[in-house]
């Protein structure tokens, strides 16, 4: 990218003259440092058989279904294709054609690596465009590379964020070429952003709008030129806006906005350096707070001209955004978390260090040291998760191909052997059974507004776009129609109830993730077929009944109300 011109170029010159990090290390040395840090960042990905991100098995199961459903009658019994104008298809579009070359989980490893590289490159490209050079200051980006958004496995968003920063850097670098050709080129890029991730496209739009507004105030442009420039800038968003209008699902009856308790809001602010709630997460948070306060107090860091407003608006958006929302595109998890992570990378790109050289080198050395500690911590945690994944996948071979599988987990309690307090990683463990045994899972991502697969019609009544594991107490209660008979026919009351109600007539196996005490939660309904250090696998017993009314199930079945799904037996 070419550096920006006029006032920004003048500020870049000042930055190069005042920066305490520039003189002692030449460009080759700087490049070598970034290459070494990038290689180190990718090391944990290749120390494990499976990259243990929370949503990874769910995403990769979808890739297998997309690639093989036409040739696999077992998968076709459980799922259907649903290609459309979903604004969340980067992973599916890139990996599905490659699924015949590499196994899905191996593709997941390389997609994660690609996401990291795009994010690193986008941050450095934007910094280079704004400041005219790349010194040691942007090494701070590596502190934020392993963040809570990555731990959740929101790979499409992170890839889209990296692309947004590349695109924003290109927008700034080409500002002297303003015209309809430029707008058309960026409009085409906006279509790519639409399919990568809609929220990343929104962040790019916010950055462009704030940049143009700040530029107009700085240059005191006449009104006619301002209108022309803003029109040209806005034209690039017309193509993705048209796609959005076409793809927009019907309005929902009860949209939901949840901001969360104060602890949830604090977790959002912590999220750029948060992985599994470990000691290193806390050390990084303390360092970022102390170093940030010191740098700002002494005015050792300054944003590039025109970047103050984008940073301010992005911060305001992160503070105001809900943690959870449910609307036309289904449920969106962690809006504030994603924005705080985006802000951390944009801030690294926007700021430059102008303090004393020695202070700069001390900060850079501490940052690199903490990054090395982070890589060690992530590698150790991931190896432990990897061993658990291998143990579960081996034991789950007892599950019949194509079977309907229900997961049970006490969501607020620890799982035996987990490295940290990150329970979310286990919520999708049974997705490995979709990959290995072509099972049906009600919590696989099948939102028709966002995903290219849906449940087969025969299984739609027990499917959810996004769901949670049942709690052990819910497993017992929802097996008794005398307790929850009011739910019959009210499929929209709640996601968990859709597949929890009368589960013994609807599922073939139950996988119970526990703290090491895997006692049978419903002995009258389940028979253990496999056991592990943190899980137990049970086969359901037809005709079972639990609760305080053991005669109720028999009476209702005798009257023809047994709720059993009529699904053909899958071929082996």
pLDDT digits (tens, 9 = 90+) for 72-127: 999 999 999 999 998 989 999 999 999 989 999 999 999 999 999 999 999 999 99
For residue 376, being part of any structural domain is answered with no
Do 402 and 272 share a structural domain?
no
| DSSP label of 304 | P
Q: What is the tens place of the pLDDT at every residue in 482-506?
A: 665 544 444 343 467 788 888 888 8
For residue 337, being part of any structural domain is answered with yes
pLDDT at 19 over 80: no
Q: What are phi and psi of 331, to 5 degrees?
A: -85, 135
For residue 260, being part of any structural domain is answered with yes
How many domains, the chain?
Answer: 2
CB contact set of 169 (below 8 Å; sequence gap of 6+): 1, 122, 125, 126, 128, 129, 130
CB 275 within 8 A of CB 151: yes
Q: Worst-scoring range by mean pLDDT, 14-28, 265-279, 371-385?
A: 14-28
Q: Across 18-22, 188-192, 551-555, which has the greatest mean pLDDT?
A: 188-192
Q: Which domain holds residue 514?
A: 382-558
pLDDT at 71 over 90: yes
pLDDT at 529 over 60: yes
Task: Give the DSSP H/E element, type plus range, for residue 512.
Answer: strand 509-513
b/e 295-304 (16+ beta carbons within 10 angstroms → b): beeeebbbbb
Q: What is the pLDDT of residue 281?
A: 96
For residue 151, being part of any structural domain is answered with yes
Do 244 and 327 share a structural domain?
yes
Do 396 and 330 share a structural domain?
no
Q: What is the CA radius of gyration of the chain?
A: 26
Burial tier of 8 (Cβ tally within 10 Å: 0-12, 13-18, 19+): buried
Do 251 and 185 share a structural domain?
yes
b/e 158-169 (16+ beta carbons within 10 angstroms → b): bbbbbbbbbbbb
For residue 58, being part of any structural domain is answered with no
CB 535 within 8 A of CB 514: yes
How far, CA to CA in Å, does 117 sit from each of 114, 226, 440?
5, 36, 34
Do 252 and 193 share a structural domain?
yes
> Span 561-569, mean pLDDT?
62
Do 147 and 92 share a structural domain?
yes
For residue 257, being part of any structural domain is answered with yes
Do 386 and 347 share a structural domain?
no
Last residue of a domain, one of 355, 371, 393: 355
Do 259 and 391 share a structural domain?
no
Nearest to 92 by CA among 80, 101, 83: 83
Do 534 and 467 share a structural domain?
yes
- The model's pTM is 0.91
With tokens 């990218």, the residue in question is 1
Nearest to 485 by CA among 436, 530, 434, 547: 547
Last residue of a domain, one of 306, 337, 355: 355
Do 386 and 350 share a structural domain?
no
- Across the strands, what pairs with 440? 404
Phi-psi group of 567: left, alpha or beta (phi > 0 → left; psi -120 to 50 → alpha; rest → beta): beta
Compute how many other C-beta atoms are within 10 angstroms of the C-beta atom of residue 335.
21
Do 447 and 348 share a structural domain?
no
For residue 176, being part of any structural domain is answered with yes
Do 515 and 407 share a structural domain?
yes
Q: What is the tens place of the pLDDT at every residue in 281-322?
A: 999 999 999 999 999 889 999 999 999 999 999 999 999 999
Please report, in angstroms and rounded to a whole number, the separation of the first and last CA atoms in the chain: 55
For residue 261, being part of any structural domain is answered with yes
């Amino acid at each position: 990218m070419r550096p920006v011109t006029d006032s920004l170029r003048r500020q870049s010159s000042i930055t190069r003259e005042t920066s305490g990090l520039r003189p002692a290390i030449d460009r080759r040395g700087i490049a070598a440092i970034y290459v070494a840090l990038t290689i180190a960042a990718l090391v944990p990905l290749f120390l494990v058989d499976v990259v243990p991100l929370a949503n990874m098995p769910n995403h990769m199961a979808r890739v297998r279904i997309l690639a093989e459903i036409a040739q696999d009658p077992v998968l076709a019994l459980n799922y259907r294709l649903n290609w459309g104008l979903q604004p969340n298809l980067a992973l599916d579009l890139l990996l599905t054609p490659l699924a015949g070359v590499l196994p899905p989980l191996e593709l997941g490893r390389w997609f994660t690596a690609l996401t990291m590289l795009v994010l690193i490159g986008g941050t450095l490209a934007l910094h280079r465009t704004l400041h005219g050079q790349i010194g040691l200051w942007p090494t701070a980006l590596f502190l934020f590379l392993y963040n809570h958004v990555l731990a959740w496995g929101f790979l499409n968003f992170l890839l889209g964020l990296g692309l947004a920063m590349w695109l924003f850097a290109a927008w700034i670098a080409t500002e002297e070429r303003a015209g309809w050709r430029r707008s058309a080129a960026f409009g085409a890029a906006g279509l790519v952003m639409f399919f990568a991730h809609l929220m990343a496209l929104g962040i790019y739009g916010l950055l462009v709008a704030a940049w143009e507004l700040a530029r107009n105030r700085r240059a005191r442009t006449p009104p006619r030129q301002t209108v022309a420039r803003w029109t040209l800038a806005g034209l690039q968003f017309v193509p993705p806006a048209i796609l959005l209008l076409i793809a927009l699902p019907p309005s929902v009856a009860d949209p939901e906005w949840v901001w969360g308790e104060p602890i949830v809001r604090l977790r959002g602010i912590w999220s750029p350096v948060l992985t599994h709630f470990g000691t290193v997460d806390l050390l990084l948070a303390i360092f970022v707070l102390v170093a940030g306060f010191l740098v700002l107090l002494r005015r050792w860091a300054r944003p590039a001209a025109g970047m103050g407003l984008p940073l301010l608006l992005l911060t305001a958006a992160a503070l105001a955004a809900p943690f959870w929302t449910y609307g036309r595109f289904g449920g969106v998890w962690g809006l504030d978390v994603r924005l705080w992570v985006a802000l951390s990378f944009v801030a690294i790109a926007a700021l430059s260090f102008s303090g004393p050289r020695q202070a700069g080198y001390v900060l850079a050395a501490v940052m690199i040291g903490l990054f090395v500690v982070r890589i060690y911590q992530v590698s150790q945690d991931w190896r432990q998760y990897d061993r658990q994944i291998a143990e579960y996948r081996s034991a789950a071979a007892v599950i019949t191909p194509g079977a309907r599988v229900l997961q049970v987990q006490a969501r607020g309690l620890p799982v035996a052997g987990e490295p940290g307090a990150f329970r979310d990683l286990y919520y999708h463990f049974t997705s490995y059974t979709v990959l290995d045994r072509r099972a049906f899972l009600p919590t696989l991502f099948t939102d028709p507004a966002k995903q290219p697969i849906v449940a087969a019609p025969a299984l739609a009544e027990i499917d959810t776009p996004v769901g949670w594991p049942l709690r052990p107490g819910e497993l017992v209660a929802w097996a008794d129609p005398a307790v929850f008979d009011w739910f019959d026919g009210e499929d929209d009351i709640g996601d968990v109830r859709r597949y929890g109600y009368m589960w013994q007539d609807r599922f073939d196996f139950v996988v119970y993730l526990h703290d090491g005490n895997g006692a049978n939660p419903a002995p009258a309904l389940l028979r253990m077929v496999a056991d592990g250090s943190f899980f137990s696998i049970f086969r359901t017993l037809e005709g079972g009944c639990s609760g305080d009314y053991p005669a109720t199930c028999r009476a209702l079945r005798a009257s023809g109300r047994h709720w059993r799904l009529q699904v053909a037996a899958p071929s082996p």
